[in-house]
């Protein structure tokens, strides 16, 4: 198996015989949305746990996210060589890892839907420097040091409905887990599974399956097949994505910003043949963000002209974006342009208040990137796309329009840190 | 009632005079404190026993059902297997492949906690991430060792680190342990240590009970503790949708099925119903004796005051007023007795909880009772029974005090004359009651209540016949012993007949109590004899080998290590073995134990068939006598059993004798077992030795072989290798332990009877104050008085003891042949133990003498002049 290392990061390598070579480095990457979710959970937990110092399982399972400390886990300190396809799989030496998918879909009658499916892996105990024999000395298939969490959400634009579900499952007994090759990431009956042709080591086509039941609606499920339209991007410095000035405050980050999705979606009695564009991130790390941040707004936009745009801003205690806010543009050829916080201007144009969490979220933005001649209005397809799971955050489908209201593209936005800490 | 009785006295209205009457009552009671105190004590003890038994049973059962609750949680159903657990892959398939989410796996076992304090614990191995919606656990952070906190959450430690557990705060306090300490448990025949990493928080008092003896571990840890990787005890399910339940049921492989939760609770009720009824009935007998007592006290108080009542009546107090005042006295007694009885009952109940829990543990389930359950209903019931008894007891005397002519009431002899005249009539009524009891016993019925009704009728019949019998016995004593008896003795004995209205009562009360003790004693000894015989015939092996679980006899036996089984089969001196497998599985009648015996080499047959028939087309199964009884089965009946090959219909081809389990169990031929079950483990072995083998040497060899498997400390892991004689002795010891509660009840009933006799004597002797005054004046010394009264006590005790013998034997026969059979289905050989009868007889005399001491002493102390003056009539 070949090892790949990308040192220049400037030249896109695309369309070659082997997907493994389509490696790409991007601008220095910020904390991405998935990190946000996990870390937010931890923050909330810390806040909730401190006074009472008690945990009720069965009521708030996310408390287990607190896991052990990061002691005993490897830290992300420098760029590394990626060993594909094995690196699509799990890295248990690191504490946190996720496979994160979002996308905008439509049926042949142009009925539009959004979806999110995320698989998290959380290490419960670091192994580094431990005298213990780990799992090898154990006689039960239930024995584990891994916890798996997954979130699945569907936005039904026409019905203005949003459905969100969660899975929190231990490792062991193959209830949830990750197989590196061919890639299979699953949490109970939800899965992301590679079905490469015989002989190919590529993870594509990827098949995604998830479903649950939501009250009166009944079944909410999705089945999609994903094929890439751009080469894999190594975010940050050859896939080494810094999150702050401290060493080790970083992640390894692989990204597929544009995947073609085709499949079907079931809502209650109705079944829709759907297709559209999806976005996938695979990231692993051990580090935890500094306490000076209260949250972040994250944008993943797929423009009709072939460009994909990732912008985020980190919010400090004063609610304002910090200088660490950044962005990336990947053009239709896969070429990456980095944006610093000075390169773009993001303004909130509207708000929405959740009656469930009492949080007031921004609900409309104007994004300008003068150097790229970009001036966009970003609007949620419906206001309420709040995930009320073991941690509460907003993540939903958006439309991207010109200031003259011409449709320019679609995307997904994540808003974290708006719910008051208890 | 005549018009003259309406003359007002002394106040102008009825209420006022009633008040006046009550004052005279109170004065009378205060003047005779000992007498009323004894009566009160009697009725209180009666109530106390009823309350105590109720409380003890309720507390033990609550502790059990709470621990069941903790396991069942909110589950609506559970998935169980063929008796050997279920494959964990079934769980994975249901969750991952079929998307069932409201299911939670459970690995459950009982273990013996050796350190820091010995006791029984229930180990629950759960997947905390799957518990939502089924069971809810609240954890509190404990104070760990310094630095532990910084290593992160102990909850993840519970999951990640093997050998860790969480226990409740109450449990922790009971053990005086803290987080970080270790528990030493005996589990699956091994010693295991578990480190406490956290505290299971109780949010309610109920939780305190519920989690009292629970040790919560991760499911992986529990599997490792049990050394049963791959197995789950059950899968709890919370589903209300019928379609989903059907889908779930249809996905289960053969040998695994879905059943409703809560079955355990119901089967507990069924299981212990007969046991409860027996205990409660015995406690009612104690109340019966108590009732005798209050009845006597009331009657005596009325007799003593007959002059007062007579005078009051001549002064114009109405009959109704006299009647009311005596009834009110009875009611006051009832209320005081109820209050005192409930308090005493709670104290006694606390003392009995251990005994009852121990018995229930031997018979049905293991439980650690941490607190008392006091059902309000119990107190109401006890009080109502007590007050009812008092009112009933006051009814007769009240009628007597009010109904008679004022002039009659003035004469003591009227009452006595009436009593004497009624001897014959009572005897006829008594004979009638006895005949009715006989009819009830002959009447074909399996109802336990009918058995108890006949028991009650026998008592009533006995009470009716008692005065006549006493008279005959007195006459017999006088005529037979005439030659050897002195004047004083003859006088003393004749007095018994002359004061029949008093003596008959005391003798009857004592007699009933002694007969009850005798009856229960004879029943127990018959039972013990039957069990001993049966053990003799059943334990045909020379040496028995097995692993002791906890204290519970229910559930699956721990399997012996296979290497050891093979080793023992070929041990020097062993010519044959019987490998015994005991397990529990679901059947038509709920979870039932099955025993399989695989014989190899030279062995001796041990099954004692009571009935058998030819095998039919269906696979053959044998049922124990109690099982057949419990479920009303007969030869040729069929039943379904959950096997490794699914539900299979078996035909009962034989019924065998067994006293191990009153739940009953099934037995299978080894060949039949092997065609339906996969598990080949052995739970116990019987070794048959050759002629020249030394039993002790072989036992030593067995223990040596076991040491290689289980380590040096065989006792700690519960490994047993016993000679059959030792096992027999041990079994009988357990038997005796289960009957300890009846011993306590016997003692209590005798105690109540003694109080009764004392009070009757008191009445009798005080009534004869003047008589004794005359005798003293005529030259009888104090010692003479004591001699006289003691003679009377001995004779009365003797008569009571003699009368108790036939009654006791009838009691025993009904208990052994009817009540026991109808409660548990055991056929027992009836055997009258002369020792029990002798002890009963002697107890009767001793009780009578002891009870007569105080009144006799008081009489003897009287100055003759004073005694003569004191005559109040």
Q: How does pLDDT run across B480-537, given as a tens digit for each residue?
A: 876 777 777 888 888 888 877 777 877 887 888 888 888 888 888 888 888 888 888 8
Contact with chain B for residue A67, Cβ under 8 A: yes
Nearest Cα residue to B705 out of B569, B829, B839, B614: B569
pLDDT band of A120, cuts 50, 70, 90: very high
Chain A nearest-CA residue for B198: A54
Domain end among B383, B410, B437: B410
Picking from B137, B141, B150, the nearest residue to A53 by CB comes out as B141
- On whether the CB atoms of residues A280 and A302 are closer than 8 A, the answer is no
Picking from B137, B155, B221, the nearest residue to A58 by CB comes out as B137
My answer on whether B250 and B324 are in the same domain is no
* The dihedral sign for the CA sequence B315, B318, B323, B325: negative
Cite the beta strand spans of B150-239 per DSSP E. Answer: 164-168, 182-187, 190-201, 214-218, 231-232, 234-237
Q: Report CB contact under 8 Å: A67, B137.
A: no
Q: From the CA of A98, how many Å to the nearest CA of chain B?
A: 19
Q: Report CB contact under 8 Å: A68, B201.
A: no
Q: From the CA of A218, how many Å to the nearest CA of chain B?
A: 13
- A262 bridge partner residues: A225, A275
pLDDT band of A5, cuts 50, 70, 90: very low
What span, in angstroms and rounded, lies between the C-alpha atoms of B251 and B417? Answer: 84
pLDDT score of B610: 81
Find chain A residues with C-beta within 8 A of B91's C-beta: 173
Max mean pLDDT among A256-270, B618-632, B687-701, B854-868 falls in A256-270
Using CA atoms, how far residue A92 sits from A34, A145, B29, B520, in Å, is 17, 9, 87, 70
In a domain, B446, yes or no: no
Element housing B519 (H / E) = helix B500-538
* The dihedral formed by the CA atoms of B830, B831, B836 and B840, expressed in degrees to the nearest 10: 60
- A152 bridge partner residues: A117, A165
Interface predicted TM-score of the whole assembly (ipTM), two decimals = 0.82
Q: What are phi and psi of B254, to 5 degrees?
A: -60, 140
What span, in angstroms and rounded, lies between the C-alpha atoms of A336 and A324? Answer: 19
What span, in angstroms and rounded, lies between the C-alpha atoms of B241 and B243? Answer: 6
My answer on whether B606 and B580 are in the same domain is yes
pLDDT band of B366, cuts 50, 70, 90: low
Contact with chain B for residue A109, Cβ under 8 A: no
pLDDT band of A49, cuts 50, 70, 90: very low
DSSP one-letter string for B27-41: HHHHH-HHHHHHHHH
Q: Which residues contact B470 (CB under 8 A, 6 or more apart)?
A: B496, B497, B500, B503, B504, B507, B799, B803
- A184 bridge partner residues: A179, A193
Structural domain spans, chain A: 20-416
Q: Report CB contact under 8 Å: A54, B140.
A: yes
In a domain, B501, yes or no: no
Per the structure, the complete domain to which residue B204 belongs is given by: 76-260
Among A62, A130, A142, the residue to mutate for chain B (most B Cβ within 10 A): A142
Nearest Cα residue to B460 out of B436, B442, B477, B439: B436
pLDDT band of A62, cuts 50, 70, 90: very low
pLDDT score of A349: 95
Using CA atoms, how far residue B562 sits from B108, B558, B579, in Å, is 23, 12, 11
pLDDT score of A421: 60
Q: What is the average pLDDT value for chain A, to the nearest integer? A: 80
Contact with chain B for residue A142, Cβ under 8 A: yes
My answer on whether B333 and B395 are in the same domain is yes
- A399 bridge partner residues: A379, A410
Report residue A243 as tokens. Answer: 């999150």
Nearest Cα residue to A356 out of A390, A397, A388, A395: A388
Among B152, B164, B197, B230, the residue to mutate for chain A (most A Cβ within 10 A): B152
My answer on whether B109 and B254 are in the same domain is yes
Chain B nearest-CA residue for A66: B153
Report residue B99 as tokens. Answer: 């998307």
Residue B419, Ramachandran bin (φ over 0: left; ψ between -120 and 50: alpha; else beta): alpha
pLDDT score of A32: 37
Q: From the CA of B174, how many Å to the nearest CA of chain A?
A: 22
In a domain, B458, yes or no: no
Using CA atoms, how far residue B84 sits from A17, A207, A395, B584, in Å, is 55, 39, 48, 8
Total length of chain B: 873
Q: Report CB contact under 8 Å: A138, B224.
A: yes
Q: What's the mean pLDDT in B348-377?
A: 72
Name the 3-class secondary structure at B830.
coil
Find chain A residues with C-beta within 8 A of B134's C-beta: 58
* Burial class of B444 by CB neighbour count within 10 A (0 to 12, 13 to 18, 19+): exposed
What span, in angstroms and rounded, lies between the C-alpha atoms of B579 and B559? Answer: 11
- A194 bridge partner residues: A206
pLDDT score of A46: 33
Share of chain A above pLDDT 70, in %: 79
Find chain A residues with C-beta within 8 A of B149's C-beta: none
DSSP state of A21: G
Picking from B136, B157, B159, the nearest residue to A170 by CB comes out as B159
- On whether the CB atoms of residues B511 and B800 are closer than 8 A, the answer is yes
Picking from B101, B133, B155, the nearest residue to A55 by CB comes out as B155
pLDDT score of A161: 94
> How many CB pairs (< 8 A) connect A and B?
129
Residue B8 has pLDDT above 80, yes or no: no
Report residue B258 as tokens. Answer: 């879905």
Q: In total, how many domains does chain B have?
A: 3
> What part of A 321-380 touches B (C-beta under 8 Å)?
none
Domain end among B350, B376, B410: B410
Q: What is the average pLDDT value for chain B, to the nearest integer? A: 79
* Burial class of B421 by CB neighbour count within 10 A (0 to 12, 13 to 18, 19+): exposed
**Buried residues in B168-202 as b, exposed as e (16+ CB within 10 A):** bbbbbebbebebeebbebbbbbbbbebbbbbbbbb
Q: What CATH code is assigned to A20-416?
A: 2.40.370.10
What span, in angstroms and rounded, lies between the C-alpha atoms of B268 and B29? Answer: 48
State pLDDT tens for residues B578-588: 888 888 888 88
Among B85, B86, B96, B222, the residue to mutate for chain A (most A Cβ within 10 A): B96
pLDDT score of B652: 92
Higher pLDDT, B140 or A261: A261
Find chain A residues with C-beta within 8 A of B201's C-beta: 54
DSSP one-letter string for B696-751: HHHHHHHHHHHHHHH-S-HHHHTEEEEEHHHHHHHHHHHHHHHTHHHHHHHHHHHH
pLDDT band of A75, cuts 50, 70, 90: confident
My answer on whether B112 and B216 are in the same domain is yes
Q: Report CB contact under 8 Å: B151, A71.
A: yes
Q: Report CB contact under 8 Å: B139, A141.
A: no
- On whether the CB atoms of residues B129 and B113 are closer than 8 A, the answer is no
Residue A38 has pLDDT above 70, yes or no: no
Nearest Cα residue to B262 out of B130, B68, B121, B439: B68
Element housing A103 (H / E) = strand A96-106
- On whether the CB atoms of residues A95 and A286 are closer than 8 A, the answer is yes
Instruction: Centre a 10 Å sphere on the Cβ of residue A376 and count the other Cβ atoms it contains.
Output: 23
Residue B276's Cβ-side half-sphere holds a number of Cα atoms within 13 Å equal to 14
Q: Report CB contact under 8 Å: A53, B140.
A: yes
My answer on whether B594 and B652 are in the same domain is yes
Q: From the CA of A152, how many Å to the nearest CA of chain B?
A: 15
- On whether the CB atoms of residues A334 and A255 are closer than 8 A, the answer is no
Residue B73 has pLDDT above 80, yes or no: no
State pLDDT tens for residues A123-138: 887 776 555 556 778 8
What span, in angstroms and rounded, lies between the C-alpha atoms of A240 and A254? Answer: 9
pLDDT band of B549, cuts 50, 70, 90: low
Domain end among B241, B260, B279: B260
Using CA atoms, how far residue A341 sits from A327, A369, B17, B67, in Å, is 8, 10, 105, 61
pLDDT score of B289: 67
pLDDT band of B266, cuts 50, 70, 90: low
* Burial class of B328 by CB neighbour count within 10 A (0 to 12, 13 to 18, 19+): middle
Max mean pLDDT among A161-170, A242-251, B283-292 falls in A161-170
Find chain A residues with C-beta within 8 A of B98's C-beta: 189
pLDDT score of B449: 75
Picking from B134, B156, B224, the nearest residue to A139 by CB comes out as B224
Q: Report CB contact under 8 Å: B159, A144.
A: yes
What span, in angstroms and rounded, lies between the C-alpha atoms of B88 and B71? Answer: 18
pLDDT score of B363: 62
> What part of A 148-207 touches B (C-beta under 8 Å)?
168-170, 172-175, 186, 188-189
Q: Report CB contact under 8 Å: B227, A56.
A: no
Q: From the CA of B127, how many Å to the nearest CA of chain A?
A: 8
pLDDT band of A265, cuts 50, 70, 90: very high
Q: Report CB contact under 8 Å: A144, B160.
A: yes
Residue A386's Cβ-side half-sphere holds a number of Cα atoms within 13 Å equal to 21
Find chain B residues with C-beta within 8 A of A141's C-beta: 88, 220, 229-230
Higher pLDDT, B8 or B343: B343
CA A53 to chain centre: 31
Residue A24 has pLDDT above 70, yes or no: no
pLDDT band of A63, cuts 50, 70, 90: very low
Picking from A67, A71, A141, the nearest residue to B229 by CB comes out as A141
Q: From the CA of A69, how many Å to the nearest CA of chain B?
A: 5
Report residue B457 as tokens. Answer: 């009728």
What span, in angstroms and rounded, lies between the C-alpha atoms of A361 and B387? Answer: 72
pLDDT score of B362: 62
My answer on whether B226 and B291 are in the same domain is no
Find chain B residues with C-beta within 8 A of A138's C-beta: 162, 220, 224
H-assigned helices in B739-817:
740-767, 769-777, 782-813
Share of chain B above pLDDT 90, in %: 9
Q: From the CA of B453, how many Å to the nearest CA of chain A?
A: 53
- On whether the CB atoms of residues B849 and B797 are closer than 8 A, the answer is yes
Max mean pLDDT among A167-171, A220-224, B387-391 falls in A220-224
Among A140, A172, A177, A216, the residue to mutate for chain B (most B Cβ within 10 A): A140
Using CA atoms, how far residue B180 sits from A300, B187, B563, B565, in Å, is 48, 21, 36, 38
Residue B730 has pLDDT above 50, yes or no: yes
Q: What's the mean pLDDT in B254-276?
A: 70
Q: Report CB contact under 8 Å: A57, B132.
A: yes
Among A67, A166, A173, the residue to mutate for chain B (most B Cβ within 10 A): A173
Picking from B99, B156, B223, the nearest residue to A125 by CB comes out as B156
- On whether the CB atoms of residues A70 and A127 are closer than 8 A, the answer is no
Q: Report CB contact under 8 Å: A189, B97.
A: yes
My answer on whether B168 and B278 are in the same domain is no
Q: Report CB contact under 8 Å: B155, A59.
A: no
My answer on whether B602 and B650 are in the same domain is yes
Name the least confident of B13-17, B230-234, B295-299. Answer: B13-17
- On whether the CB atoms of residues B608 and B625 are closer than 8 A, the answer is no
My answer on whether B68 and B217 are in the same domain is no
State pLDDT tens for residues A324-367: 778 889 998 889 898 888 899 999 999 999 999 999 999 999 99
**Buried residues in B306-320 as b, exposed as e (16+ CB within 10 A):** bebbbebbeebbbbe
């Amino acid at each position: 198996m070949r090892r790949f290392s990308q040192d220049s990061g400037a030249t896109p390598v695309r369309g070659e015989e082997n997907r493994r070579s389509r490696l790409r480095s991007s601008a220095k990457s910020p904390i991405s949305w998935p990190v946000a979710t996990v870390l937010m959970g931890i923050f909330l937990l810390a806040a909730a746990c401190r006074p009472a110092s008690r945990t009720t399982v069965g009521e708030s399972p996310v408390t287990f996210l607190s896991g052990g400390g990061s002691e005993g886990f490897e830290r992300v300190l420098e760029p590394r060589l990626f060993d594909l396809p094995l690196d699509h799989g799990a890295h248990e030496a690191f504490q946190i890892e996720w496979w994160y998918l979002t996308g905008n879909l439509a049926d042949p009658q142009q009925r539009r839907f959004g979806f999110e499916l995320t698989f998290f892996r959380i290490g419960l105990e670091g192994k580094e420097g431990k005298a213990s024999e780990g799992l090898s000395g154990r006689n039960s298939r239930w024995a584990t040091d891994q916890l798996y969490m997954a979130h699945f959400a569907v936005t039904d634009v026409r019905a203005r409905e949003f459905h969100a579900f969660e899975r929190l499952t231990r490792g062991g007994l193959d209830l949830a887990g990750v197989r590196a090759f061919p890639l299979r990431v699953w949490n109970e009956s939800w899965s992301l599974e590679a079905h490469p042709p015989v002989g190919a080591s590529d993870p594509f086509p990827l098949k995604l399956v998830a479903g649950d039941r939501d009250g009166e609606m009944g079944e909410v499920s999705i089945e999609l097949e994903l094929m890439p339209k751009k080469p894999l991007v190594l975010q940050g410095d050859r896939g080494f994505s810094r999150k702050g000035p401290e060493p080790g405050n970083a992640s390894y980050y692989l990204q597929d910003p544009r995947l073609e999705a085709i499949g079907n979606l079931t809502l209650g009695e109705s079944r829709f043949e759907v297709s559209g564009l999806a976005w996938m991130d695979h990231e692993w790390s051990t580090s935890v963000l500094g306490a000076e941040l209260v949250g972040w707004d994250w944008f993943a936009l797929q423009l009709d002209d072939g460009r994909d745009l990732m912008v985020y801003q980190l919010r400090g205690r004063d609610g304002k974006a910090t200088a660490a806010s950044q962005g990336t543009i990947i053009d239709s050829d896969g070429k990456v342009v980095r944006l610093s916080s000075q390169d773009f201007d993001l303004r909130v144009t509207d708000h929405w208040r959740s009656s469930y969490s009492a949080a007031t979220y921004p609900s409309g933005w104007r994004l300008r990137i003068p150097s790229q001649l970009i001036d966009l209005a970003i609007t949620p397809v419906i206001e309420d796309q709040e995930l009320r799971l073991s941690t509460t955050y907003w993540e939903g489908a958006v439309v991207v329009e010109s200031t003259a209201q011409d449709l320019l593209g679609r995307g997904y936005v994540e808003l974290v840190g708006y719910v008051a800490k208890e | 009632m005549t018009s003259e009785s309406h003359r007002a006295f002394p106040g102008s209205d009825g209420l006022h005079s009633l008040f006046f009457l009550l004052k005279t009552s109170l004065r009378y009671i205060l003047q005779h404190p000992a007498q009323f105190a004894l009566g009160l004590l009697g009725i209180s003890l009666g109530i106390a026993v009823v309350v105590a038994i109720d409380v003890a049973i309720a507390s033990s059962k609550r502790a059990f059902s709470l621990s069941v609750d903790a396991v069942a949680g909110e589950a609506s159903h559970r998935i169980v297997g063929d008796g050997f657990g279920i494959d964990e892959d079934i769980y994975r398939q249901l969750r991952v492949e079929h998307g069932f989410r409201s299911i939670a796996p459970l690995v459950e076992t009982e273990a013996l906690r050796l350190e820091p304090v010995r006791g029984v614990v229930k180990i629950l191995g759960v997947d905390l991430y799957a518990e939502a919606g089924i069971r809810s656990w609240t954890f509190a952070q404990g104070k760990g060792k310094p630095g532990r906190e910084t290593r992160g959450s102990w909850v993840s430690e519970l999951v990640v680190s093997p050998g860790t557990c969480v226990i409740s705060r109450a449990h922790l306090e009971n053990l005086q342990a803290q987080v970080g300490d270790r528990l030493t448990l005996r589990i699956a025949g091994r010693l295991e240590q578990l480190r406490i990493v956290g505290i299971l928080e109780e949010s309610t008092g109920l939780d305190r009970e519920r989690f009292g003896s629970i040790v919560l571990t991760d499911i992986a840890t529990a599997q490792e503790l049990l050394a049963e990787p791959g197995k789950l005890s059950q899968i709890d399910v919370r589903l209300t949708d019928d379609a989903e339940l059907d889908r779930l049921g249809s996905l289960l492989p053969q040998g695994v099925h879905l059943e409703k939760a809560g079955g355990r609770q119901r089967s507990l009720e069924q299981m212990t119903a007969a046991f409860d009824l027996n205990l409660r009935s015995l406690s009612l007998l104690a109340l019966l004796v108590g009732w005798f007592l209050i009845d006597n006290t009331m009657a005596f108080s009325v007799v003593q005051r007959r002059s007062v009542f007579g005078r009051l009546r001549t002064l114009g107090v109405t009959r109704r007023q006299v009647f009311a005042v005596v009834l009110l006295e009875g009611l006051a007694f009832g209320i005081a007795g109820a209050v005192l009885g409930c308090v005493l009952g709670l104290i006694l109940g606390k003392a009995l909880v251990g005994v009852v829990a121990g018995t229930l543990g031997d018979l049905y389930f293991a439980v650690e009772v941490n607190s008392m359950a006091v059902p309000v209903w119990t107190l109401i019931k006890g009080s109502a029974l007590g007050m009812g008894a008092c009112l009933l007891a006051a009814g007769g005397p009240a009628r007597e005090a009010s109904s008679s002519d004022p002039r009659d009431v003035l004469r003591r002899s009227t009452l006595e004359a009436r009593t004497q005249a009624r001897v014959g009539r009572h005897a006829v009524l008594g004979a009638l009651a006895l005949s009715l009891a006989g009819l009830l016993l002959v009447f074909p019925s399996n109802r336990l209540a009918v058995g108890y009704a006949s028991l009650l009728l026998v008592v009533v019949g006995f009470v009716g016949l008692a005065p006549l019998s006493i008279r005959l016995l007195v006459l017999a004593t006088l005529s037979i012993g005439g030659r050897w008896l002195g004047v004083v003795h003859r006088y003393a004995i004749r007095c018994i007949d002359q004061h029949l209205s008093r003596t008959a009562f005391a003798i009857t009360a004592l007699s009933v109590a002694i007969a009850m003790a005798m009856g229960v004693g004879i029943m127990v000894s018959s039972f013990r004899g039957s069990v001993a015989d049966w053990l003799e015939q059943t334990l045909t092996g020379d040496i028995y080998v097995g692993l002791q679980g906890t204290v519970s006899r229910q559930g699956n036996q721990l399997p012996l290590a296979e290497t050891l089984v093979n080793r023992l089969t070929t041990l020097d001196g062993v010519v044959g073995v019987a490998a015994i497998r005991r397990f529990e599985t679901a059947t038509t009648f709920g979870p039932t134990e099955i025993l399989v015996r695989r014989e190899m080499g030279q062995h001796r047959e041990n099954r004692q068939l009571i009935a058998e028939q030819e095998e039919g087309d269906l696979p053959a199964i044998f049922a124990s006598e109690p099982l057949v009884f419990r479920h009303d089965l007969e030869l040729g009946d069929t039943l379904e059993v959950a096997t490794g090959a699914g539900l299979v219909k078996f035909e009962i081809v034989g019924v065998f004798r067994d006293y191990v389990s009153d739940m009953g169990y099934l037995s299978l031929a080894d060949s039949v077992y092997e065609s339906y079950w996969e598990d080949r483990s052995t739970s116990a072995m019987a070794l048959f030795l050759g002629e020249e083998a030394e039993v002790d040497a072989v036992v030593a060899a067995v223990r040596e072989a076991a040491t290689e498997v289980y380590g040096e400390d065989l006792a700690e892991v519960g490994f047993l290798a016993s000679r059959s004689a030792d096992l027999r002795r041990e079994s009988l010891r357990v038997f005796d332990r289960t009957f300890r509660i009846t011993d306590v009840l016997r003692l209590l009933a005798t105690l109540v009877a003694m109080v009764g006799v004392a009070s009757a004597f008191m009445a009798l002797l005080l009534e004869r104050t003047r008589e004794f005054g005359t005798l003293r004046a005529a030259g009888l010394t104090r010692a003479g008085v004591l001699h006289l009264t003691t003679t009377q006590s001995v004779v009365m005790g003797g008569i009571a003891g003699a009368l108790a013998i036939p009654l006791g034997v009838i009691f025993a026969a009904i208990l052994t042949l009817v009540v026991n059979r109808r409660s548990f289905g055991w056929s027992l050989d009836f055997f009258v133990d002369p020792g029990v009868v002798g002890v009963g007889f002697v107890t009767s005399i001793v009780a009578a003498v002891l009870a007569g001491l105080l009144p006799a002493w008081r009489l003897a102390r009287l100055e003759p002049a004073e005694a003569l003056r004191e005559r109040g009539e």
